[in-house]
Amino acid sequence: MSKQRESELAAHGFVREEGLHFPLTKKDLTTIVAAALLEDDTRHDITTAATVTSNRRARCRLVARQPGVIAGLALACEAFEQLDPAVTMRVEHVDGTRVEANTPVMFVSGHARGVLSAERVALNFMQRLSGIATLTARYVDAVAGTRAHILDTRKTTPLLRRLEKYAVRAGGGLNHRMDLSAAVLIKDNHLAAVDGDIAVAVSRARGVAPAGIKVEVECDTLDQVRAAVDAGADVVMLDNMQLMEMRDAVKLVDGRAVTEASGGITLDTVRLVAETGVDWISVGALTHSAPALDLALDFD
């Protein structure tokens, strides 16, 4: 994607123009990994304590067992470092890299007890985030050559949103609004509160939202699309529309707003949706249904 296109999308207020930058500060990274290690009670790993001597050292490699896109290396490295501050690591493939099956992603060398106790936490983070990145990349590949861009939603794991949306970026997707304060999205239940009057809803949103905040309206019908555009909405969501109706909606909008397709879009249908001419395609499955990427830690 060109820098100009990124800037155009970011200007609409829903898409974050930040590239692939790890979203956590060092303090936040330390805190979340420490909490995960505590949850697994790694300081009382009775199996490792019973079977591995304290002076035993280990060399191992983190390997992708299947093709995919890597994400979450900072979390894995932090897990190993917290249990063995003297551990050494060499990363072969950074976040956002596409790898083939049986590819070593990183090498780890340190005290065997620390590496073994941190292993599951490190893998859990990386398998989850790499799975999201991999699924996102499949959607991005499916719409290549069209004008459409793949976006995520707020259907994320509580407290892991910044990481999961980062994984979407690692896979080549874009982030929709990060939270409820980032933009106005008037959905069916909001419209019900104003008796379905889109003009009233948009007008009220303009009167309350801070300067620069964009307004999107979820539309189920062409009449709603027309009303949203006439009311000056910045983005029109085409919710669960059939392909023919979606094409008609894109023609009706005619560039006066950004068009976003949403609702039940799968890898089997995303190309057809993209070919209707929509600007964005939002897919909740990127974060709520991505299968974990098969990663493993192999000891020499």
The tens digit of pLDDT for each residue in 33-50 reads 999 999 999 999 999 999
3 among known catalytic residues = no
Q: Which residue out of 120, 138, 154, 247 is catalytically annotated? A: 120
239 among known catalytic residues = yes
Q: Which residue out of 26, 57, 187, 251 is catalytically annotated? A: 187
Q: Which residue out of 218, 234, 260, 279 is catalytically annotated? A: 218
- As a whole number of angstroms, the distance between CA 179 and CA 251 comes to 30
Which residues 6+ apart lie within 8 Å of 103 measured at CB? 63, 64, 92, 93
Residue 146's pLDDT band (cuts 50, 70, 90):
very high
155 among known catalytic residues = yes
Are the CB atoms for 209 and 232 separated by under 8 Å? Answer: no
Total-model pTM: 0.93
Q: Which residue out of 59, 98, 155, 256 is catalytically annotated? A: 155
Element (DSSP H or E) covering residue 286: helix 285-288
- As a whole number of angstroms, the distance between CA 188 and CA 23 comes to 32
187 among known catalytic residues = yes
Q: Which residue out of 84, 119, 239, 279 is catalytically annotated? A: 239
Q: Is the pLDDT of residue 94 over 60?
A: yes
Q: Is the pLDDT of residue 130 over 90?
A: yes
* pLDDT per residue as tens digits for the range 2-28: 454 445 444 444 555 556 899 999 999
* Sheet order of strands, 258-262 included: 149-151, 280-282, 258-262, 235-239, 215-219, 184-186
Burial (CB count <10 Å: 0-12, 13-18, 19+), residue 178: middle
Alpha helix positions (H), 11-60: 26-39, 46-51
Average model confidence (pLDDT) across the chain: 94
Q: Is the pLDDT of residue 166 over 50?
A: yes
Rounded to a whole number of angstroms, the distance between the first and last alpha carbons of the chain is 41
3-state secondary structure 82-99: HHCCCCEEEECCCCCCEE
- As a whole number of angstroms, the distance between CA 294 and CA 100 comes to 12
How are the residues of the chain apportioned to helix, strand and coil, as percentages rounded to the nearest 5? 45, 20, 40
